[in-house]
Amino acid sequence: MSPQDLPADLGAARPWRPGKIFRWLALTLMPVLAALFGGGVILWAVGVDPLNYYGTVAGRGLLSPSGVQQTLTRMAPLLFLAAGLIVAFRAGLWNLGVDGQFLLGAVAAAASAPALAAILPSGAAILVAFSLAALVGAAWAMLPALLKAYGGVNEIVSTLMMTFLGVSLANLVVKLGLRDPETTVPQTRTLPVEDRLPRLFETTVSSGLLLGLFTIILVHLAMTRTAFGLRLRVMGVNPRAAIHAGLDLPWLTICAFALSAGLAGAAGAIEVLGIQGNVRADWNPAYGLLVVPTVLLARLNGFAAVGFVLLLSVLSIGGESAARRTGVPSAFTFVLVALVLVVLACSEYLDRRARNTPEGAA
């Protein structure tokens, strides 16, 4: 045992060593760059100039005034989804049903907001519709939550199955129950622009962006600085230690699901109240499965997630524009995100192996 192992410097904080920063960069930015490079190879192979494509994406998603406003607006629901996923993942629960929860939340908001706006002041109507969406999202996760908490049923399967049901149910409700009689397109009644979430200053950016930033930072602090967050994390990293410490696992599981799905439902409300104004039948942006790798890439850190959500927004907004200009389908964004995930998994594996080898040999 060498002298520096002695407990004299136990309290010494040493947050950022150069090696740590380098590792973080290597493990975080490298996968992104490698994925962009891999995507470039694919584009080149199908006969598209990668530089032209990426130039268009960056130009439309980040550099043009209207593009950047769209990008920032797109971030709002993604931030809520990321916050919801952080809660679940930190608690060790794979809530992969966020798309269903999102869509049902969106429908709840779209159905209630126009009616509420007629009887309440606009701010109150938005608040009530927003809360209702969160409740509907949370309610949709209760079945998987109860099954997991009391039956040990794998939540990956149950939440994924519930998402199929949720998407179909949202569709059905729009087509059968809430269809706006004044249009031929099957969609809900459109919320007038003046009753929607206000826009920021003189731009088209929805104030949902601020709500999203506020929410994800609040969630981050709750997970890292509160007793409740620590209980969820203990359950996430070692459920048996949580039982041994006397934590009420079923209750924590239900709470984590309710929060996670509630935030996903709120994401749907933000999209409807801030951007769309209504829900069309067959509409399913499937943001949830794009945000999952984003949150993992951010290592469940709320602040890092903001950065990666921005990147995702740029890719998806820019990708939609580039689709029109270069003929590359906008689904290519999915390819890029998938590549990030693959590279991330590989680098994580290599990092773990590299770190374990010296210990195993010692």
Binding footprint of another protein on the chain (CB under 8 A)? 1, 4-7, 9-14, 225-228, 230-231, 233-234, 237-238, 240-247, 359-360
Of 5 and 202, nearer to another protein (C-beta) is 5
Q: Dihedrals φ, ψ of 280, to 5°? A: -85, 150
Nearer to another protein among residue 174 and residue 252 (C-beta): 252
Give the shortest CB-258-to-another protein separation in angstroms: 17
- Residue 259 Cβ, how far from another protein at the closest point, in Å? 14
228 vs 334, beta carbon nearer another protein: 228
CB atoms near residue 339 (< 10 Å): 21
Backbone angles phi, psi at 42, to 5 degrees: -65, -45
Q: For 279-302, what is the HEC assignment?
A: CECCCCCCCHHHHHHHHHHCCCCH
Question: Shortest approach of another protein to residue 324 CB, angstroms?
Answer: 46
CB-based burial, 79-91: b 16+ in 10 Å, e otherwise = bbbbbbbbbbbbb
Sign of CA dihedral 276, 280, 285, 288: positive
Q: How far is residue 188's CA from residue 190's CA, in Å, rounded to a whole number?
A: 6
Q: How far is the CB of 299 from another protein (least distance, A)?
A: 12
Query: In whole angstroms, how close is the CB of 125 to another protein at the nearest point?
Result: 32
Compare residues 63 and 218 and give the one whose CB is closer to another protein. Answer: 218
240 burial level (CB within 10 Å; 0-12, 13-18, 19+): exposed
91, 92, 98, 100 alpha-carbon torsion, rounded to 10°: -110
Q: Toward another protein, which CB reaches closer, 194 or 359?
A: 359
Q: How far is the CB of 238 from another protein (least distance, A)?
A: 4
Closest to another protein by CB, 183 vs 226, is 226
